[in-house]
Structure 1
Amino acid sequence: MTFESTLAERKAELSQKWAELVLRTYPKETQKVWTRQKDRFQNPVGAAIIEATGELMNHLIEWQDAERIARSLDKLIRIRAVQDFTPSQAISFVFLLKKLLRDEFFQAMKKDGTLDELLRFEAKVDNLAMMSFDIYCKSREEVFRFRVEEVKRSQSSLLRKAGLVADVTAEKSAD
């Protein structure tokens, strides 16, 4: 039995444990809300984290479609990109999977002499981390661009209200 097939058999359990580790990266009060509330409409962030870890576990086992992997990563990273995390904290969830896998499998695989399978799989997790960093950077760029656009809109609105700038759309419709 390969390591991937073992993971496939336990993927629901492992993705749930991974989601719990990710949720623990948030402040205690946030953790309480997100772990207690199971309704996806009342807890969209918690639901997105659980969904994304499940999808990512499947993708890691299969490791076939980089675009699908990126879409699943994007779901989780967009959440973390708008929060008050440093870049390393934002993508740390990937390395939490390595910790989980080592906690679950390291000792048994060391005894069986199959530790090399875990190490090969961890290379996939490392690739996931690199993809995560790229996606995080793009997400942060979007956040900053949205903030700049919002500041421009609010300044323009204030200047129009103060009568310091003419409203071009109103003047065009008057013509």
Structure 2
Amino acid sequence: MRFESELAERKAELSEKWADLVLGSYPAETRKIWGRQKDRFQNPVGAAIIDATRELFDLTLQWEDAEKIASSLDKLIRIRSVQDFSPSQAVSFVFLLKKLLREEFFKPMQAGGRLDELLRFEAKVDNLAMMSFDIYAKGRETMYRLRVDEVKRAQSSLLRKAGMIVDVTAD
């Protein structure tokens, strides 16, 4: 049986475990609230993390549509980038998948002489990590550009109000 088939058979369980690992990367109090409350209206962030890990796990298994994978990664990165995480912590959720796979499959696959299959799949996870860094950096760049534009608008408005800038319009 191919490794991807094993993963596909256990995708609900494994994506849930991955979501638990991601939720585990938050402070203890946050983790308790998000892990305990399953209602998506009372716990939208926890529900979004669970949905995104499920979707991303499935897309990683298929490995067919880079845009869908990037979109799914973006959902998790957006959640984590606005929280009190460093850039490396914000994208560390990808490496939690690698950790999970090793915990679940390393010893049996090593004993069965199939470790090469795990390593091949881990290359996909490494690619997810590289995509995540790019998405994170692009999002930060956009955010900083918006901040700079807002400062420029505010400064221009203040100078205009102070009479230091005159609007010239052609009639």
* Aligned CA distance change for structure 1 residues 155 and 44 (closer, same or farther; 3 Å): farther
Q: CA deviation at 1:44?
A: 1.6
CA separation in 2, counterparts of 1:104 and 1:59?
20
Structure 1 residues not aligned, in runs of 5+: none
Q: Deviations over 1:100-121 (max 9, x none)?
A: 0000011111111111100000
Q: Show the counterpart of 1:2.
A: 2
Q: CA deviation at 1:58?
A: 0.5
Q: Show the counterpart of 1:54.
A: 54
- What is the aligned length? 170
Structure 2 residue matching 1:104: 3-state secondary structure: helix
Counterparts in 2 of 1:132-171, with a 5 A limit? 132-152=132-152, 159=158, 163-164=161-162
Structure 1 residue matching 2:34: 3-state secondary structure: helix
Q: Show the counterpart of 1:123.
A: 123
CA separation in 1, counterparts of 2:115 and 2:31?
33
Counterparts in 2 of 1:2-81, with a 5 A limit? 2-81=2-81
Q: Show the counterpart of 1:86.
A: 86
Q: Which amino acid aligns with 2:10?
A: R
* Aligned CA distance change for structure 1 residues 145 and 82 (closer, same or farther; 3 Å): farther
**Contact 1:82-1:143 within 8 A present in 2 as well:** no
**Contact 1:82-1:140 within 8 A present in 2 as well:** no
**Contact 1:109-1:115 within 8 A present in 2 as well:** yes
Q: Deviations over 1:108-139 (max 9, x none)?
A: 11111111100000000001101111001011
Structure 2 residues not aligned, in runs of 5+: none
Q: CA deviation at 1:87?
A: 1.4
Q: CA deviation at 1:56?
A: 0.9
CA separation in 1, counterparts of 2:36 and 2:154?
38
Q: CA deviation at 1:48?
A: 1.2
Q: Show the counterpart of 2:114.
A: 114
Q: Deviations over 1:56-98 (max 9, x none)?
A: 1111111111011000001001111222211111111101100
Q: Which amino acid aligns with 2:12?
A: A
CA separation in 2, counterparts of 1:4 and 1:32?
32
CA separation in 2, counterparts of 1:42 and 1:156?
42
Structure 2 residue matching 1:38: 3-state secondary structure: coil
Q: CA deviation at 1:14?
A: 0.5
Name the % identity. 72
CA RMSD of aligned residues (A): 2.3
CA separation in 2, counterparts of 1:165 and 1:65?
54
The TM-score, its normalising length taken from structure 2, stands at 0.88
The TM-score, its normalising length taken from structure 1, stands at 0.86
* Aligned CA distance change for structure 1 residues 7 and 44 (closer, same or farther; 3 Å): same
